[in-house]
A and B are shown apart, each in its own frame.
Chain A
Amino acid sequence: MMEATNVGDELESALNGNRRAMARMLSSIENGQFTLENIPAKPPSRESHAWAVMAITGAPGVGKSVLVDALMTAWATEGVRVALLAVDPSSPRTGGALLGDRVRMTSVDNPAISDRVYVRSIATRTSSGSVPLIVEDMAAFLLACGWDRVLIETVGSGQAELRCAAVADRIVVVEGPARGDGIQAEKAGLLELADIVLVNKADLEGAERHAGELTESYALDGDDAPDVLLTSGLKGIGIPEAAKALLSLKGSNRALRARMRERLLAQHERRLVQHPAYNSVLDGLCEGTLDITEALTQLKGDDHERAS
């Protein structure tokens, strides 16, 4: 709905700290009506801290939202300005989404810190992974608007969901108690990319044992093993320690190749879904006028021409 003429004003207003303007600009970025090339280069200073964008991921129901809320409260109380991009799935059938992460958020409603906390709900839309790639641009914009740190809470994800590696500087994996036997901790996947693991719901039985299994498993990795901490977002257990550890969390170079692979694949997919013929090719597949090979050729063909 934005008039072309006032985009400049809105942008300036957003960069000067107006939250309404910022929220509207984020929509424009999400909708592809505005790209980051149009903002004056204002890279966030990374001197004072090591990371700017952190992904919080883990299975559905392990308590990510409540934990994130507790961490944001701890940081904002210390004066850190923290923005959260909370991702929930879009319906693959209708494109609609029910974004419910705010239900568990108390930090945004706390007047003492609410000017240092921003929460934005995001639907996955056409993206296939647990994080739509446009979130990378939205995070960069928030940093340009003066937010110190950006958290991305992914869709509740499974063992092999690694897409968050494409958009974040650090990856926090949240686990819960009683998540299967010891062999689960040995399985490959998301846990290999973690910079730190938080075993949440620490007040429940099985949490300590699971944390022990993870620590043991990581010990085989040698020096570069991530820490495993026990937390309870709901009960406040281990939150000050986790908040401190996360704020100064160093990136590990473990699995660098795997992270780069995610970046590459994610950007490739982004190109594909942004291709002008994407929707008509999907139609063709549904109607049976195209097979998968032909569809790929169409999408690749145009792309190649544009590039050359």
Chain B
Amino acid sequence: MDQPLRIVVAKPGLDGHDRGAKVVARALRDAGHEVIYTGLRRTSQQIVDTVRDEDARFLGLSSLSGAHAHLFPQVCEKLREAGLDDVVVFGGGIIPEDDRPALHAVGIRAVFGPGTPTSEILDFIATAAGMNDAGVGQSSTWHWDASA
């Protein structure tokens, strides 16, 4: 049997809404993965330390506060600084279409908006898990085109 994937689900910044993060965490759990939830209001450094200490393969970032354009790239940069190049990063929340290309450009492999079926997130995880260059500091320029 395959080992379950270890996935950190994190809420960076001052945003206090985590219904979406919990729904995603629950869907990942029900798909057989081990989800480490950080709780609210984490700094970029705290999130990166958690990914390192928990040996997570995936990191899901959730933001509904509008700070994604600043916080998501900061987390990616710190992951690379820490040598965590092979961690696959995805994001979700209230993130306008126009903001997404910049996030893809810094190594975030998928950005999911409200209304995304959880099955799509699982499909993304399965696809990225099958690649060996989808990490935040790795060579691939691939990203997932989210339906919502």
Contact = CB atoms under 8 A, between A and B. Distances in A.
- B partners with A: yes
Nearest to B42: A109
Contacts of A103: 37-39
B110 interface: no
Contacts, number: 82
Interface residues of B, number: 32
Interface in A1-51: 1, 19-20, 23-24, 26-27, 31
Contact of A20 (B1, B50, B84): B84
Given A98-B25, A114-B49, A123 B34 contact: yes
B38 A102 contact: yes
B30 interface: yes
B53 A120 contact: yes
Interface of B: 1, 3-4, 6, 25-26, 28-39, 42-43, 46, 49-50, 52-55, 57, 82-84, 86
24 contacts: A1-B57, A1-B86, A19-B52, A23-B52, A96-B4, A96-B28, A96-B30, A96-B32, A96-B33, A96-B34, A97-B29, A97-B35, A98-B26, A98-B29, A98-B35, A100-B37, A100-B39, A102-B36, A102-B39, A103-B39, A108-B49, A109-B42, A120-B53, A125-B4
Interface of A: 1, 19-20, 23-24, 26-27, 31, 90-91, 94-100, 102-104, 108-109, 114, 118-121, 123, 125, 279
Given A94-B30, A103-B38, 11 more contacts: A19-B53, A20-B82, A23-B52, A94-B32, A96-B4, A96-B35, A97-B34, A99-B37, A109-B49, A119-B53, A125-B4
Task: Report the 7 A-B pairs with minimum CB-CB distance, sorted nearest first.
Answer: A103-B39, A96-B29, A23-B55, A96-B32, A95-B32, A27-B55, A99-B36
